[in-house]
């Protein structure tokens, strides 16, 4: 797999558009046992990214992702801003001044983002957070790309894993965030962050083969 700077921008733009377009849906999910502001916070942070994607520094991948991190951290409210901002910032550090990415680069960036989320959110797999969809999806992506699968096929499979993993959060007890205050009532509900990851993965995968460069 080889990803260009334009491919990275495409992924960022797709994620941003997905967050904005699903504001209501993500908010409804969060409102069941949370405070209901997840969809609003995500949309407010990513709409700035969406509005600025054409004007961002595209001299290299690191600078592009760092710009995204700063925008999200500065605009996205609640705990989402620091968590998503950290994810993009950690990925930017790994990418550095690269203008194209190989498979190992992509996986290293995703792993760095995951570690950043864990540290910032003090969360682990099984805590009923976005990690419960993100980690299995990245595991599957790494496995398939390592076996020589094409990027489109690997993304589709990873998206499928993200969806099934997000669905599995319904049976989990929330251990982080406002949802954790509801205790046993959190069992039987979907984690909004995990669902957001799944929807984003699906959008990237479904549009990957028809993406355009700028």
**Reported pTM:** 0.94
Residue 153: count of CB within 10 angstroms of its CB: 13
126 Ramachandran zone, left/alpha/beta (phi>0; psi -120 to 50): left
Contact 93, 62 (CB under 8 A): yes
What is the pLDDT, as a whole number, of residue 178? 63
Residue 122: count of CB within 10 angstroms of its CB: 10
pLDDT bucket at 130, cuts 50 / 70 / 90: very high
| Mean of pLDDT values over 106-115 | 98
In the numeric block, which tokens belong to residue 106? Answer: 């992509």
Q: Round to whole Å and give the CA distance between 140 and 133.
A: 11
In the numeric block, which tokens belong to residue 205? Answer: 């995968």
In the numeric block, which tokens belong to residue 122? Answer: 């003090």
Residue 83 vs residue 184, higher pLDDT: 83
pLDDT bucket at 213, cuts 50 / 70 / 90: low
Q: Cα Rg for the chain, rounded, in angstroms?
A: 16
Q: CA nearest 15: which of 212, 210, 208, 199? A: 199
The three-state (H, E, C) secondary structure of 31-47, written as one string: HCCCCCCHHHHHHHHHH
Q: Is the pLDDT of residue 179 over 70?
A: no
Q: Which single residue is written with the structure tokens 């925008």? A: 71
Contact 190, 133 (CB under 8 A): no
């Amino acid at each position: 797999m080889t990803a260009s700077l334009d491919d990275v921008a495409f992924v960022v733009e797709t994620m941003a558009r997905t967050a904005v377009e699903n504001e209501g849906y993500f908010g409804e999910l969060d409102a069941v046992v949370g405070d209901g502001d997840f969809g609003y916070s995500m949309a407010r942070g990513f709409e700035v990214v969406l509005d600025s994607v054409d004007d961002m520094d595209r001299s290299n991948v690191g600078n592009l992702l760092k710009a995204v991190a700063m925008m999200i951290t500065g605009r996205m409210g609640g705990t989402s801003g620091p968590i998503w901002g950290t994810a993009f910032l950690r990925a930017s550090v790994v990418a550095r001044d690269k203008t194209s990415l190989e498979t190992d680069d992509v996986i290293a960036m995703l792993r760095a983002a995951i570690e950043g989320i864990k540290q910032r959110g003090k969360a682990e797999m099984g805590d009923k957070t976005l990690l419960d969809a993100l980690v299995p999806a990245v595991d599957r992506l790494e496995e398939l790309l390592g076996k020589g699968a094409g990027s489109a096929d690997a993304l589709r499979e990873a998206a499928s894993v993200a969806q099934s993993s997000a669905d599995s959060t319904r049976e989990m007890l929330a251990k982080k965030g406002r949802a954790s205050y509801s205790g046993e009532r959190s069992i039987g509900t979907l984690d909004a962050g995990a669902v957001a990851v799944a929807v984003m993965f699906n959008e990237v995968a479904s549009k990957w083969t028809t993406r355009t460069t700028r």
